[in-house]
Amino acid sequence: MTLTLHDATFALLALLTLGAALGVVLARNIVHSAFLLVLTFLGVAGLFLTLDAGFLGLVQVLVYGGAISVLVVFAVMLLMSEQAGQTNPPGASRFTRWAGGVGAVALALALGAAVCTTAWEPGSGPRPEAVAELARLMLGDYVVPFEAAAVLLLLAVVGAIILAKGEDGR
């Protein structure tokens, strides 16, 4: 098996994503964690692009890079404490740190095992245009989950407003 340019790109992007994700956990300043999280999201978007899923990659950029990131930073600003440098301290006890680490490795192993044991079927023949195919599935076969997504978004908005009003005391 030879290393192609595609593999190298994948490796670089995976390293970037994982490194940034590790930074999110390890950074002492929660604002740095938030910005590193954005980098993680963009790394994942890059991985989508290498998989020839351009539209999904752009969705990742728009929703995670442009919207979730703003939400996270605003949430951080809302809860900001005086000592910016120590807002994201590592776990209080040695036990919680080890438990977190072991849990993360176990989750990674479980996901890896699932990926390795699944019989992937590479698609054959000319692929339909991704956006059009998405629209067909969304409004055809999967119309109920599609409308459920709208209800979910509605509930998220309503719930957040109720919570925020409690916080605000108005």
**Residue 160: what residue type?**
A
Q: Which of 24, 69, 88, 117 binds other proteins (CB under 8 A)?
A: 69
Name the CA dihedral angle for 69, 33, 58, 50, rounded to a multiple of 10 degrees. Answer: -170
Alpha helix segments (H runs only) across 51-93: 54-59, 69-78
Question: Interface residues for other proteins in 9-48 (CB under 8 A)?
Answer: 9, 29, 31-32, 35, 38, 46
By CB under 8 A, the count of residues binding other proteins is 60
Contact 17, 42 (CB under 8 A): no
What is residue 123's three-state secondary structure? Answer: coil
Interface pattern 118-147 for other proteins (x via CB under 8 A): -----------x-xx-xxx-xxx--x--xx
The single residue among 25, 26, 67, 106 that binds other proteins, judged by CB under 8 A, is: 67
The least CB distance from residue 75 to other proteins, in Å, is 6
**Angle (CA) 48 54 58, round 5°:** 85
37: which 2 tokens? 């999280």
| Contact between 86 and 32 (Cβ < 8 Å) | no
Residues that bind other proteins (CB under 8 A): 9, 29, 31-32, 35, 38, 46, 49-50, 52, 54-55, 58-59, 61-63, 65-71, 73-75, 77-80, 82, 84, 129, 131-132, 134-136, 138-140, 143, 146-147, 149-151, 153-154, 156-158, 160-161, 164-165, 167-168, 170
